[in-house]
Structure 1
């Protein structure tokens, strides 16, 4: 029970951050550079929820180190790949709906603690990460400091994955309802965003 209080405080803090946040590529003009890129996943509700959920699910469902790291590393790698695609002018349909769908799916994975083989975990989150990255790459196309902005974004993504893993590890045996509650919250956010873009 000692672990549940700090975990609840961390969840409430994370929930409070997005009150002033935008939700990604549809937010309008952005400042660029490493710091702006670093802050974007921390202040965009959709990105913050997705990054934390990937780490949380990994910690709750993994049985070994390979499974623990597969989804976070897969997400980070494919986020970068998607961003580079966006910078190169690649366009895919349904970018915003896929970002919203990623939250719905990740929330359900956290809620159920569904275990998948390492490769399947990385592939599943990797598909969604391409769309998250693509939105940012398109947003930054033509900017001279796009590489710095993407580096900041990737650094924050990795840190949020690590925070999600830490939170999930703390809750793995200490509590059953808090991670389920977090999963429901992420899934509901995804469903709400999906309803708004479809």
Structure 2
């Protein structure tokens, strides 16, 4: 009986310990995780980053996505701090367009150029994540969530890119997918 009373007392004093799930509206990890996954423009750009890094091969497979994630986190901090950035939505839309074109081109880009390109776009994506953080959010958990979501999308893109090498006409299929993504990006730019 004492053990049950102690557990009830602890549950009353520390209710977060007895919660099994976190609400998406709470602004913690799950809210941050869902932002890049449920944002169609973010999802398209980030999947392209993963596929492009796989097409490049070698160290680019981890360098290009990790550059995106690192710089995106810096952009997220800028957004959380309320530091204004010009044309964030246009920057995100243009990233979808440009990364789709890069994917459709199926060219070997120098790693440094690819890192510069994705780093530039990552600032806009991160800023959007940071400024759209819910008011009641735990900033560290929210940031950890959007970093994890982004990294997961990049990994999925890498797997898609590597898998395309194993199937007949895989490279052509990725070029068509890239053209489609570029078309959606163009629509986002002009809309």
With the length of structure 2 as denominator, give the TM-score of the two structures: 0.81
Residue 180 of structure 1 is matched in structure 2 by 175
List runs of 5+ in structure 2 lacking aligned partners: 1-23
- TM-aligned CA deviation for residue 145 of structure 1: 1.1
**Corresponding residue for residue 154 of structure 1:** 147
Q: Which residue of 2 aligns with 1:136?
A: 129
RMSD over aligned Cα atoms? 1.6
Count residues with an aligned counterpart. 165
CA contact (8 A) 2:60 2:111 kept: yes
CA shift, 1:135, in A, is 1.2
Measured after TM superposition, the shift of residue 173 of structure 1 is 4.9
SS in structure 1 at match of 2:35: helix
Q: Which residue of 1 aligns with 2:47?
A: 52
What do the CA deviations read for 1:17-37 (whole angstroms, capped 9, x no partner)?
Answer: xxxxxxxxxxxxx82111121
Q: Give the superposition deviation at 1:141.
A: 7.4
CA distance in 2, matches of 1:151, 1:85: 15
Unaligned runs of 5+ in 1: 1-29
Cα deviations by residue, 1:88-125 (Å, 9 ceiling, x for unpaired)? 22111111111000000100111112222222211110
1:148-198 CA-partner distances (Å, limit 9, x unpaired): 1121111011111011001100102522321012101211111111011xx
Question: What's the counterpart of residue 79 of structure 1?
Answer: 72
